[in-house]
Structure 1
Amino acid sequence: MPVTAYDLTGRTAFVTGAASGIGRASALLLAEAGATVHCADLDTAGLHETAGQIKDGGGTAHIHPLDVTDRSDLRQAVTSCTRLNVLAAIAGIMHNSPVLETRDEDLDRVMSVNFKGVLYACQEAARLMIARGSRGSIVTMASGAVDTGGPGLLCYGAAKAAVVQLTKTLATEVGRYGIRVNAVAPGWIRTPMTERPDDEAQARYEAVMARMSPLGRVGDPEDIAHTVLYLASDASSFTTGQIVRPNGGVAMPW
């Protein structure tokens, strides 16, 4: 496959969670590949920073301050795109609590952001792609938690497992329109969402996570952004309904 298969010149991407972490890294890389990038997030200051970096690099960016759990705002932002070729539904939150201590409000909040927010984005993006006859790629964000589990991961893991099912189901329904749907299931990635209370605690935790990987390190947002670019581009033109696992080898499911 020629390198030009990764060229997104003339295409439009919509990225949720674009204010920081994996979302920001993905927005920057999609822009570097030539896409016009629409950046969505609750963090307005972070959105401006991401958009500024894209523009400083010669790219084109638009910002949409919004809550992905608000279907109306999300619909308005997505439909504001003249055309849409790529959705990267990355916005998410972390919650950790033992099963026996999990409250209804904890589960509801995590499912609202990590599953419903992805569902709403997928629905609006797919409808727009179909209505405008745009062949496209939808990339969702799952997690290594769907393969490994772990103490305290009930809410987060359940929401990400739902994203996996959404990805596979949607792929079977929109493939006939030339729309591909795939999920990324990262391992432990160094982002604001995984930060510990202080540098010492961070270093200890990263050391534990690194020992779990055959590669001997934790991941960076850019590691995941390259997977998002692959799935967004023509380089993955025969890939749909798949869960791609850039996890450093921590989990190796069949």
Structure 2
Amino acid sequence: MPLKAYDLTGRTAFVTGAASGIGRATARLLAEAGATVHCADRDEKGLRETRALITEAGGSARTHTLDVTDRARLRAAVASADRLDVLAAIAGVMHTSTVLETRDEDLDRVFAVNFKGVLHACQEAARAMIAAKTPGSLITMASGAVDAAHPGLLCYSAAKAAVVQLTRTLAAELGPYAIRVNAVAPGWVRTPMTDRHDAALQHQAEQAMIRRAPLGRVGEPEDIAHAVLHLACDASAFTTGQILRPNGGTAMPW
């Protein structure tokens, strides 16, 4: 059993991006802590696998196949929960292009998922919590990319920087309702999203990260999931408006 401050028994969590990577690791860990987890993603096969992993371990999970850019589907999925205590808005996409090569459609797609998808999830979750007068925790997914300039990552880092400001503003606005809002800004983490890059370039990036990181390694999805769990539970009851940076100690993870 988890320590009492980390016990989510009787609570309900909603996790976007739950079909793989950080989202899957988070859904599994929240379920292990006792929460009923609603898992959302557009990858139906990945969602089934996540649910199977949770239920096989004795946890409780429901799945919602949706794209976070579809606000109506997102609203319906959040409304289907009997109650809502935790939101982990993790769904995201990666795009690389120089500033001069960036097209409007690139910027629109990345902001639609990485910023507006987070905004809409937070809005729907917060409205549900306020209506039910339920204290809660909203956790957004930022990135270490917001802390320095990274050539080729304009769309991604700009959207994540917007998430940071969204997090701080929501924390100020929702505090009176006993709803906490915090962000996690990971360093380089091995996930299916980062694995889509050229293998040689990925190896080069990982080695650069390892050289800069005092802990001497890149992150794993479970490392970030534990940061989310901390912000989701009573152990962080006096924490809001903060950006937690699990990045192995480096300020420039990319």
Distance in 2 of aligned mates of 1:187 and 1:235: 23
What is the number of equivalent residue pairs in this alignment?
Answer: 251
Distance in 1 of aligned mates of 2:160 and 2:174: 21
Q: 1:31 and 2:24 equivalent? A: no
Extract unaligned runs of 5+ from structure 1: none
- Compute the displacement of 1:149 (Å): 2.3
Distance in 2 of aligned mates of 1:221 and 1:128: 28
Residue 11 (structure 1) aligns with: 11
Q: 1:47 and 2:47 equivalent? A: yes
Deviations along 1:214-237, one digit per CA (max 9) or x if unpaired, are 111100000000000000000000
Q: 1:135 and 2:123 equivalent? A: no
* 1:153–1:201 CA distance, 2 compared to 1 (3 A): closer
Q: 1:195 and 2:195 equivalent? A: yes
**Secondary structure of 2:138's partner?**
strand
Extract unaligned runs of 5+ from structure 2: none
- Compute the displacement of 1:195 (Å): 1.0
* Match runs of 1:170-185 below 5 Å: 170-185=170-185
Distance in 2 of aligned mates of 1:113 and 1:201: 25
* Match runs of 1:1-254 below 5 Å: 3-195=3-195, 201-251=201-251
**Secondary structure of 1:175's partner?**
helix
**Secondary structure of 1:123's partner?**
helix
Identify which range, 110-119 or 241-250, moves more after superposition: 241-250
- Compute the displacement of 1:135 (Å): 0.5
Distance in 2 of aligned mates of 1:215 and 1:196: 25
Deviations along 1:41-71, one digit per CA (max 9) or x if unpaired, are 0000000000000000000000000010111
- Compute the displacement of 1:203 (Å): 3.4
Distance in 2 of aligned mates of 1:148 and 1:161: 11
- Compute the displacement of 1:148 (Å): 1.9
Distance in 2 of aligned mates of 1:86 and 1:153: 30
Distance in 2 of aligned mates of 1:162 and 1:48: 31
Identity of aligned residues (%): 73
Distance in 1 of aligned mates of 2:62 and 2:25: 16
* 1:199–1:159 CA distance, 2 compared to 1 (3 A): closer
TM-score (norm 1): 0.96
